[in-house]
Amino acid sequence: MVKFCLECKNAFWGGQYCPKCPGEIELLDAALPENKKYLPELNVDVRPKYYARSSMLLSCFGFIMSLPLGAFIFLRGLSSSGNVALWGSVGIGTIIGVSWGCWYLAHKLFDKQMEDVEVEDKEPQLD
């Protein structure tokens, strides 16, 4: 859950108090409706974090699911014809195609979502 500090204007992943500010400055939850009014004041935008997370999940899904799918195609084809070279190349091609396709779609999804984010007046957050 993304929380932000009103003192230093930074966003953090969870926690109760700001780790950068001296004292115990309480972090506010970005998802609560009463805290939405503070989001335009922040010097970092929290939307890219959510967009990056959805893109990472899509690409991770592709990388994880491509190996079992490629192995299934290889074993299924091998059991029917016995041509190892053909079905090995089809299986490896499936793994590469699904992995690259999901990575490409994740990249396009992230770019599409980031069109609405103005980055000229925002500082990058490197935490």
pLDDT tens string 46-75? 677 778 888 999 999 999 999 999 999 999
Minimal CA–CA distance to 38: which of 85, 67, 2, 66?
A: 2
Kindly calculate the radius of gyration of the chain based on its CA atoms and give it in whole angstroms. 22
**Residue 45 has what pLDDT?**
62
DSSP SS3 for 118:
coil
Mean pLDDT in each 10-residue stretch from start to end of the chain (127 residues)? 78 81 84 77 67 89 94 93 92 96 94 76 54
Provide the token pair at 47: 């939307």
**Residue 6 has what pLDDT?**
79
Quote the DSSP letter at residue 43. Answer: S
**Residue 42 has what pLDDT?**
67
Quote the DSSP letter at residue 38. Answer: G
Q: How far apart are the first and last CA of the chain?
A: 15
**Residue 37 has what pLDDT?**
79
- What is the model's pTM? 0.62
Backbone region of residue 41 per phi and psi (left: phi > 0; alpha: psi in -120 to 50; beta: other values):
alpha
